[in-house]
Every structure is written in structure tokens, then in C-alpha cells.
Structure 1
């Protein structure tokens, strides 16, 4: 009889324990449900904070919190892209509207003003032609960037002498920098450095960087090209001593259509696509591009490529 009572007592205690444990698990699951519901509805950045000895619930909480972290990252990226798109649409409307307004104004003048001399007509036609080319150039850049960012576009690479490409590009710009009285700093070693890149696209990268250095670095009257390497990488540094890029702009200079405030005037006019295309091309060739800038001291874009050693 005593044994039976002990067994019944133990069984009752066990049932009570299991009931309390199930009840605790129910409350924990209810907490998870309500907390998740609030996070979704209120779009908060909270996490699920719950102490439990149940390893399965712990595992579920860990995975849910990882998903919440990922969701926050994706939401931040979406907001950043949305802001970039709004800024891009605003800038392109400005960049296309301005030359089109000029074209319409001059064509109206040529149509209605019978007093224009042949020389004046020719001058106006030249302006209209330049503005039309400006619009076409901007549209072409958009299509070019769209192609580069599509999965269908690949950049074929081969073993290329980086020193020779840099020397060639400097020669291409010799007349421009000479006419503008620029000081040129060239640091290209005699030892040849090789990387797997696309020659045409690499030249376009250097074109963009050198033309930017000449345009935006005009105040400093200096442009520099340096090639250096370590065991695994080659570095091409294009620098100037111009107005530079303030800290607040540095993280955005490679964004689509991003232009600093003063680039909306004629002296610094740009589409805001050049550096985006440059960055995309470099990454397509397995490299990366870096920026450092101290206004009126040194602004340098560094292209980092994987070095081929054979």
C-alpha cells in the first residue's frame, strides 16, 4: 500500500511537472508569436530576447534573429537604392532637360529669325550639334551601365602588361595636360607587372580616371600616375591636387548619377555615371577601386588588380 502511494505520488508529481513544462513552452511560443507580430506590424528593429532551457526553442530563436538581422540589412539596402534612384531621376532630368532646352531655343531662333547671317546660322548649328551629342552621350552611358550590370554581360580578360597600358594612356593625354600647364608625376617601374584584364575596358577605366583628375583637379595643376605592386596585387594610382572630395561625399561618389553640389555648374558638369561605370568595369575584371582625398593636397583613386606571376 505504501509503495502504491509512493508510485501514485511520483506519477502525480511527474504529470504536474510535465504540465508546467508544457505550459511554460506554450507561454514561450506565445511570446515569440506576439513579439514577431509586433516587429512585422510596427517595423521595429527589435530582436527576440527569451531565456529558455529548451534547446529546440533556443535554436529556433537563433535562426529567427538571424532572419531579422538579414531583413534589416535588406531593408537598409532597399532604402539606399530607392534614394539613389530618386536622386538619379532628378539628376538625369536636369542633365537632359538643359541641353534640350538649348536645342529647342536655337532651332526656334533659326526658324523664326530671318535676319541671321550664314555665319550666325552655322554657329548656332554647331551649338545645337554639340548639345545633341551631349544628350546622346548621356543616354549611351545609361545603356552602357545597364549592360554592364546585367548578368548577360561578361568582360573577357587576358594577360596584359599594366605598365604599358598606363604609359600609353599618359601619352594620349600629353597634349591636354601640356596645354593646361599641368605638372605631371609619373612613377612607373621598369619591371613589367601583369594582370588578367580586358585591354579595352582597362583603357576606358584609365580614361575616366585621368579625365576626372584633369577636370576636377584643375585648381591644383597636377596629375599623377603611379604603378606599384606587392606579391599578390598591382595598384594603379591616379591622383591630383585639386578641390578634392569632402568626407560626406566619399561613400557616394561611385553611386549612379551622384554628383556633388558644385558639379551642377558648367565648370564641373558631369553625368554622375563615369565613376559608376569605372567601378563596375574594375569589379568585372576581378579588382576593386579605392578613394582617398584631402582637398587641395591629394585626391587619389587606386585601382587594385590581382597580379599574375608566371
Structure 2
């Protein structure tokens, strides 16, 4: 890739090299035409010395020259300035032959244009002076009468200058092509290396080009893509681990009741002479374990239903305050029977939400079941309802044993229990909170665990009001 791009850039710059040479030649041609075009409009060419010279210098009319910013001087054969009008760059009335000669020879190096004409009849020099606007001194003169040696040496000098110019121009084009190619190929090589590593499974790869051009945008896009892929892979691995753990948990939770059912069933068949009391005890164990297995399978089915794209609610406009009061009223007999204290704080005014009443009641029922399952009798359970920023907030609290720190982040995952032993005393499936959270999310709200330093735990249900 690098060689192909570099060669492409080199070919492009050779084209630029040739175009530069053509442009240089064209520039000289245009300058020549421009010089001829401008020459006719300059004041120094409109009023040359030959246009105003007279045999008697006293008859010379210098007014046009003076009006255009110039000057006229007449120097006689004794090198005395006998006539001066306007701009005077000589600065003396009397010159020596040496000074006058120096003035004539150095006139081309001064920022003035001098047009000098000798008038033989009057024996004087007429000097017309104009300030120079811009002067570019370049001319190529060829005389066939020059000696062959001079012509050859001049030709060699010109050839060496042109060749040196072309070599320097070619060198600059080559160096610049390589630098420009490197500015493209180096970032591309880094991006290709990053893509290759990404393809080989290194999802932690990132590219740092340290640039602020379009490649920086490509770098950011690549890094965002790599980060997203890494995140997706991480989620996939986590999902796979959760699935594996879920299967193990289901197997474990079904194994105990099914083994118990099988064992007591075989005992009923094989053991003869059982008393009525023993038979009833065995059947009760079978019934309880079958209910436990059935409840687990039912909740698993319900949880899988909620993950299905076909899952939908049947919401109706409901006064949430009145609805929660009814749910709390239904919980009171159960709380009193289990020996739990309770406190309800529900708004008196009406607040309306879109609610699937059958599904939503499962949230409070599951929270209440967990509170009574894991806390000792005498624990107080509190339910409050407030409205904050168009959100109905329902807090379900207890002052019981609380949630262990190591379960806080995973409490809503399937088969996570406060009681890690999965004993028959608590009897929870570990799916209640997962189901409750999905129901809350399906209503456009959420179910969260509020962290606080107080005794017990608080679960917060939020749902948008209308």
C-alpha cells in the first residue's frame, strides 16, 4: 500500500514539476508582454529627452516633465549645470569629468529613470529624470558578432544555471512528494494494523494518530467502533455467563423438589403398611415440592415472555393513588397474619398514569413476599407515594435485615437471593425482583434499590404520570 501510494504521489509531483517549468516560461513571456504594454503609459516614455530637446537649451519647455513629477537638467561641455527644472538628483552646479562619468555609469542603479541625450549643435547633455515606479532588469541579448569563445562560455553558464534550477526544482518536488505521501501512508498503515488486530480478536486495540485533520475523524470513528465492538463482545460474554449460570440455577432449583417428589413417590409405592398419617405426610411433601417446581416453571415462563418481542401491556388510564391504596388494603391481612407492622403514606389527590393493573400489582406483591420471606416478624413495612417532575415515585421500605453489599449490584438478576443457601425455609425462586423490574420498565418506568445507611432496604418504583 505504502509503495503504491508513494509512487502515485511521485508521479503526480513530476506532473507538477513539468507544469512549473511551463509556468515559469509562460511567466517570462507574460512579463515581456506586460512590459511592452505598460511602457507606453509611463510618464518617462511619454516625455523622453529627444521629444523636448532644442538646439538652444533655453528654449526647452520642461513644464510637462515637471508636472508629472520629473525634472530636466542641462550640463554643458564644461560639466556645469546650466539649466535645471523640477526634480534634481545631481545636487551640484559644477561637476568634474570623473563625477559626471560616475553619474552616467551609476544611473541604472539608482531608483530613478534617466534619459540622457547629447545635443552636438549646442554642445550639452540633456538629462530628463523621473522617479522609478518598479524596475525589473532582465534581458537576454545575443550578438552574432561576438567571438566564438565568449558565446560558448556564456552558453555553458546559462545551461548550468538552467540545469541547476531544474535539479533543485526536481529535488524539492521529490522530497515534498515523499513527505506528502508519508503523511497519508503512515496514518493508513496504523489504521490497517489496528483493523488487522481487531479482525484477529484484539478488541482492546486503539489507534492514536496525533493528528487534527480528516484522519483524526477516521481515528475517532475507528476507536468508537472498536470500543463498541469490545463492549458488545463483553456483553455477549457476560450474557453467555449469565445464561450458563441461569441453566445451572434452574437445574439446581428443580433438582431438589423433583428429587423429593421422586423419592417420596417411590417410598409410597415400595413401603407397605404405611399408616394414614405417614401417607398424608408423604403426600404433603410431594404436593409442596410439586407446587414449588410449578411456581418456578411458571415464573420462568413469565420472565421469558417479558423478553419476547411479542410481549405487550394492556394499559388503561388509572388513578395510581387509589390503585395503590387498594393494593395495600389487600396486603394488610397477609401482613397481619405473618406478624408484620405496616405504614402507608399515599397522596390524597388523584394522579393518573397508564397502567396494566394486573401486571403492575405483581411488583408490589413480589416486594411484599420478599419482605415477609427474608425478614423476621415484627418488621415494619412502609409504602409511600409522591410525585416528582411528572414522575410517580412509590417507595417500598422495610426496617429488616437489609440487602448484603455483595448483592446490591446484582439483586435484580434472575436467581439472586438474599438467602444464598436456597433452603426450603425461604422458598424463593429468585425471579421475583427480575419480573418486577421488567414490568416497571415495560410501563416506561423503573424499579431500583435505594442505597442508604439506615436499617432495612428501600425499593423505588417510578412511572410517568399523564
Shift of 1:70: 0.6
Q: 1-side partners of 2:452 and 2:389: how far apart?
A: 28
Q: Which residue of 2 aligns with 1:201?
A: 359
Q: Which residue of 2 aligns with 1:58?
A: 216
Q: 1-side partners of 2:384 and 2:413: how far apart?
A: 25
- Residues 385 and 394, structure 2, Cα contact 8 Å, conserved in 1: yes
Q: Which residue of 1 aligns with 2:455?
A: 297
Do residues 33 (structure 1) and 192 (structure 2) align?
A: yes
**1:189-228 → structure 2 map (5 Å cutoff):** 189-218=347-376, 221-228=379-386
RMSD across aligned C-alpha pairs, in angstroms?
Answer: 2.2
Shift of 1:108: 0.9
Shift of 1:231: 3.6
Aligned partner (choices 250, 254, 262) of residue 412 of structure 2: 254
Task: Indicate how the Cα distance of structure 1 residues 287 and 298 shifts in structure 2: closer, same or farther if over 3 A, else same.
Answer: same
Equivalent pairs, count = 307
Task: Indicate how the Cα distance of structure 1 residues 235 and 168 shifts in structure 2: closer, same or farther if over 3 A, else same.
Answer: same
Aligned partner (choices 231, 240, 258) of residue 82 of structure 1: 240
Q: Which residue of 1 aligns with 2:40?
A: none
Q: Secondary structure at the match of 1:173?
A: helix
Shift of 1:220: 5.7
**1:65-144 → structure 2 map (5 Å cutoff):** 65-144=223-302
Q: 1-side partners of 2:293 and 2:168: how far apart?
A: 90
Do residues 158 (structure 1) and 333 (structure 2) align?
A: no
Unaligned 5+ runs, structure 2: 1-157
- Residues 159 and 196, structure 1, Cα contact 8 Å, conserved in 2: yes
Q: Secondary structure at the match of 1:264?
A: coil
Shift of 1:149: 0.8
Shift of 1:247: 2.3
Per-residue CA distance 1:268-288 (angstroms, 9 max, x = gap): 332111111111111111111
Do residues 16 (structure 1) and 196 (structure 2) align?
A: no
Per-residue CA distance 1:274-305 (angstroms, 9 max, x = gap): 11111111111111111025587130111001
Aligned partner (choices 205, 208, 214) of residue 49 of structure 1: 208
Deviates more, 1:117-126 or 1:269-278: 117-126
Do residues 280 (structure 1) and 438 (structure 2) align?
A: yes
**1:232-243 → structure 2 map (5 Å cutoff):** 232-243=390-401
Q: 1-side partners of 2:349 and 2:206: how far apart?
A: 55
- Residues 246 and 293, structure 1, Cα contact 8 Å, conserved in 2: no
How does the TM-score come out when normalised to structure 1?
0.91
Task: Indicate how the Cα distance of structure 1 residues 290 and 57 shifts in structure 2: closer, same or farther if over 3 A, else same.
Answer: same
Task: Indicate how the Cα distance of structure 1 residues 52 and 292 shifts in structure 2: closer, same or farther if over 3 A, else same.
Answer: closer
Q: 2-side partners of 1:295 and 1:208: how far apart?
A: 24
Q: 2-side partners of 1:161 and 1:177: how far apart?
A: 24
How does the TM-score come out when normalised to structure 2?
0.62
